[in-house]
Every structure is written in structure tokens, then in C-alpha cells.
Structure 1
Amino acid sequence: MRIYELGDGVPETAVVGSVHGDEPCGERAIERLVSSDPTVKRPIKLIVANEKALESGVRYLDEDLNRAFPGDPDADTHERQLAHNLVRELRGTTVLSLHSTQSYAEPFALVDEIDAVSRAICPYLPMEHLVETGPFSDGRLIEHAHTIEVECGLQGSERAITNAYWITRAFLSATGALPAPIEGDVEPPLSLHRRDDDDVTVFHMLDQIPKQPAETYEVFVDNFERVAPGDQFAAADGERYNADTEFYPVLLSAYGYEDVFGYAADCLGTLA
């Protein structure tokens, strides 16, 4: 772990990047923020989590860190020991965890469940969708209290790096750690501007969408767009997958996961 602390006192706000070593956007956003030497109103902790996997350019060394929480200091794997140490560093903080994905180019947030913290912060982040993971939070950092996970864009893209930086600035402003507006800095890209009257649409994960072993996979629908009963949404080696019931795809992609296409979700409404 690489840890930075900005400001005086005990941090109550933290940002975590590069939980996965093949998602460099978090590290790049943190390094950009640190190098900008921002004016800090409240102390901040910034953590580049899985440095060893990041240096090797792989998702993880022994096991997926974002399935290893709360961790174990005596574990046989690098990631499970790291999970324990990371939870210890984050104790007592409100956390933003930065990720990227192969399924969706626009930023969106995920939380274990909608609570007072997500209601207070997410409307101020430059994104339109918030996902409640519910039963699919096991082993993930978002099980840690007061944690918001954000998929910043497509994995390995420059846009994900830019998005991660501005999402971090928005989060730190929303928690009172940085002033807003940002003085002396460039404006965020237009794609990250949201009008004050834009609501955040909230989804709740219902189930995983399994995929059978195949050589080729295809996806025919867009994430967060309604899939009606009977609609074809994917294929494996040409074999069609049709929806039995209405659902909203989340993290749906052809090759993002080994044994599932992604998740089926319900739309709960909006968060103003």
C-alpha cells in the first residue's frame, strides 16, 4: 500500500485506488491530486491499494482483493493480508473506492445499501446511476461502513483516468474536505457536468446472469436500459439468451467476467 495524508489531524475521509492492478485509473487520479497540492479544509487519506499487482499489470497476485474483505492478517495470500491492512487504515472514514470496467464507458456508483451517507454524497457526484449491490457485496470493500465504489469508465482508457480524478474532487468537496468550486484548476470535461436538477437513478441487483462455456460471447443490450420479457440480450457461440422477465442490466459485458455476463437489476426510482 502507498498512503498519503493531506491536512492536519485524523482523516475522516479516504480515497482508495487500484484495488485491482489492471485498473490504474485510481492510482493516476490520486497521484494527480497529490501533485496539485490542493487546499485542504479537512484531513484526507489517499491509498493506492494493490501496488504489487499494479506493478505486475495484473488484476491480482493470488486472489481478487475485492472479494477478500475483511481479510486476515495470517492468511496465505497477498490479497487477504492486504485486505486486513486496508480495512485497518480505513477505520472511521467515509470512503471512495475507484475502479474501472469493461462493460460501460460512463461513471456509475455502487453501494452495499442506500444509507444516509450515499444519499448525502451521490447526488453531488458527476454520474447518473447508483447501484445497490445487496446480496452481491460479500467480500467487497463496500461492505465497509460508509463506502461508495465508483466505476470510472472503461478499463485502461484515458477517459477513465480523467473521470477518476474529477470524481475524486467532487467526492472530497461533497464531504467538506476540499473547497468548491475548485480554484486555479481547469474545468472538468463536459461529459462530467450534471445539472443541479438531475436525479440519480437507483438500481438494486437481483441476480447474476450466468453464461455457459463458449468460444465467443456477444451482448446485444445496453447497461441500465430496460430489457423486456422475451428480448434477446446475449449469445454464447450463437446460442441465444432471452429474458424471462423484465430486468435492467448492470456490469453486463461479453468478456468482463469468466462465468457470468453480469447482473440483472430492478429500477427503484431516483435519488434527488
Structure 2
Amino acid sequence: MRVAQLGSGTPEIAVVAGVHGDEPCGVRAVERLLDERPTVERPVKLIVANEEALERRVRFVDEDLNRAFPGDPDAKTHEGRLAHRLVEELDGCLTFSMHSTQSHGEPFAIVNGVSETAKAVVPQLPVTAMVETSNFAEGRLFSEIDTIEVECGLQGSETAAQNADRLTRAFLTAVDALPGDTIRSDLPVYRLTDVIRKQDADTYEVFVDNFAEVEAGDPFAAADGDTQVADEPFYPILMSPNGYRDVFGYAAEKLDVLTAPPAAD
């Protein structure tokens, strides 16, 4: 784990990249900040988490780090021990954690509850949606640390790396660490309600778009040609043919739209 800091004092803000070793986009954003060393108005802790997995170019070494929290200093797995160290390092920090996905190209935020902090910060980020995932928070970083996660774009793409840089700077501006203004946008809010599992198969297909409502009776995916049909309406989130080993993605409900305040004359 690599830990660095911008500014002096005790940070209450942190940026985390490289939780998964096959998601390098956030690492690029952190490295650019370290290269440029911008003057900050609040100290910021910068962390590249799973350096060993990044070096191997694998998602994890022993287990998924973002399912291993709170961790244990005596854990038998690399990620179990790392999770414990990361929780200690992030104690007291509002944390911005960057990821990427195989399912959706546009950035969106993931939170563990629509808190006042989330409602204040996330609409200032260049994201298309906020997803509340408290039903599926066990083992994730935000089960232990006040965290805003962002999916920056498609895994391994240059666009995701560019988005990570843009998102990080917007976050740091929104929390008054970097000077400047942000742009607030209307933001739809969704809540994950169920896991969409998939059976063992050689080929998988997905017929729907993420964040586009699926009506009851609509086909939404297939495994070896065996089509799955929606029993009730839902919004697909993180749906892809091969993004996860045993699930297509998640079903969600739409909770609200956070409305941006009108522009001043």
C-alpha cells in the first residue's frame, strides 16, 4: 500500500485507488496529483491500495479486497491483512474510492446510504446516477469508512482514466480541498434490491441497458440461449455478460431525483 499526502496537517479527506488490481484508472489520477502537487486548502491523503495485485495485473491476490473489510491483522490472506491496514489508515477520513466496470461506460457513484454528505457531494460530481447499495454493503470499504465510490468507466479504457482524473478533482473541489466551483446537475438515485444470478454456461448475453427500466415480461439476459424474463419491473445496474463469475448484475428501484438549485441570474 502506497500512502502520500498533499498539504500539511491531519487529513480528513482521502482518495483511494487500486482497490482492485485490474482497475488502474484511479492510480493514474493519483499519480497525476502527486506529479503536479497542486496547492490544497485542506490536507488530502492519497492511497494506492493493492499494489501487489496491480503489479500482477489481477483483480486480487487471494480474495476481493472490497469484500474483505474490516479485515484482520492476522488474516491468512493478503487482502484480509491489507483491509485492516487500510481501515486504520482511513480512520476519520471522508474517502473517495475509484473503480471501473465491464458493464457501463458512463461514470456513476455508489454509496452506502443516501446521507447528507452524499446528497451534498455527489451531485457536484460528473456522474450520471447515484446508486445506494446498503443491502449489499457487507465486506466493502464503505461498511467501515465514510466512502463515496465511483465507477469511472469501462475497465482498462483511456476514457476511464480520464474520467478518474476529472472525478477526483471535482470531488476535491466539492469538499473545499481544491479551489474553484463545481457544476451541480439533477441526479437520479437508485437502490439495489436484488442480485441477478446466472447459471453455469458457455455463453452469456444481456439484452438490456443499465439504468433503463425493464418491464415485467421483458427478456433481459440469457445463458446458453436460455432466456431470463423479468417477473416485475426493475432497473438493471452493473449488468454485463461476463463482468462477474456467477451473476449478471443487480436489480434496482428508482428512489428519487436530486434536483440542482436554479442558476443565479
Task: Give percent identity, aligned residues only.
Answer: 59
Cα distance in 1, alignment partners of residues 238 and 126 from structure 2? 19
In 2, the alpha carbon distance for the partners of 1:108 and 1:149 equals: 9
SS in structure 2 at match of 1:89? helix
Alignment match, 1:18: 18
Conservation of the 8 A alpha-carbon contact between 2:124 and 2:183: no
Q: 1:195: how far off?
A: 5.8
TM-score normalised according to structure 2 size: 0.96
Give the letter for the 2:258 counterpart: L
Deviations 1:163-214 (A, max 9, x none): 0011000000001111115xxxxxxxxxxxx964x31100000000010100
Corresponding residue for 1:5? 5
Task: Determine if the alignment matches structure 1 residue 247 to structure 2 residue 234.
Answer: yes
Instruction: Report whether the alignment pairs 1:69 with 2:56.
Output: no
1:263 correspondence with 2:216: no
Aligned to 2:163: 163
SS at 2:236 equivalent: strand
Partner of 1:150, secondary structure, is strand
Considering only aligned residues, what root-mean-square deviation do their CA atoms show, in Å? 1.0
TM-score, normalisation: structure 1: 0.93
CA distance, structure 1, for counterparts of residue 183 and residue 207 of structure 2:
30
3-state DSSP of counterpart to 1:70: coil
Partner of 1:175: 175
Q: Which residue of 2 aligns with 1:51?
A: 51
Unaligned segments of structure 2, at least 5 residues: 260-265
- Equivalent position amino acid for 1:90 in 2: L
Q: How far 1:128 sits from its partner (Å)?
A: 1.7
Amino acid at match of 1:25: C
1:205 has 2:202 as partner: no
Q: What is the SS of the residue equivalent to 2:80?
A: helix
Task: Note if contact 1:208-1:264 (Cα within 8 Å) is conserved in structure 2.
Answer: yes
> Which amino acid is the alignment partner of residue 220 of structure 1?
F
1:106-121, aligned counterparts within 5 Å? 106-121=106-121
Structure 1 regions of 5+ residues with no counterpart?
A: 182-193
Is the partner of 1:66 in helix, strand or coil? helix
Q: Residue 146 of structure 1: CA displacement?
A: 2.1
CA positional deviation for 1:135: 1.3
Find the residue that maps to 2:168 and give its secondary structure: helix
SS at match of 2:217: coil
**Cα separation, 2, equivalents of 1:7 and 1:256:** 38
- Return the alpha-carbon distance in structure 2 between the equivalents of residues 26 and 86 of structure 1: 16
Partner in structure 1 of residue 96 of structure 2: 96
Task: Say if 1:117 and 1:146, in contact at 8 Å, map to a contact too.
Answer: no
1:144 Cα deviation from its structure 2 partner? 2.7
Question: Alpha-carbon deviation of 1:2?
Answer: 0.6
Aligned-partner SS, 1:160? helix
Within the alignment, does 1:237 sit opposite 2:237 as a pair?
Answer: no
Deviations 1:50-89 (A, max 9, x none): 0000000000000000000010001010000000000000
Q: Alignment partner of 2:71: what SS?
A: coil
Cα distance in 1 for partners of 2:145, 2:64 equals 20
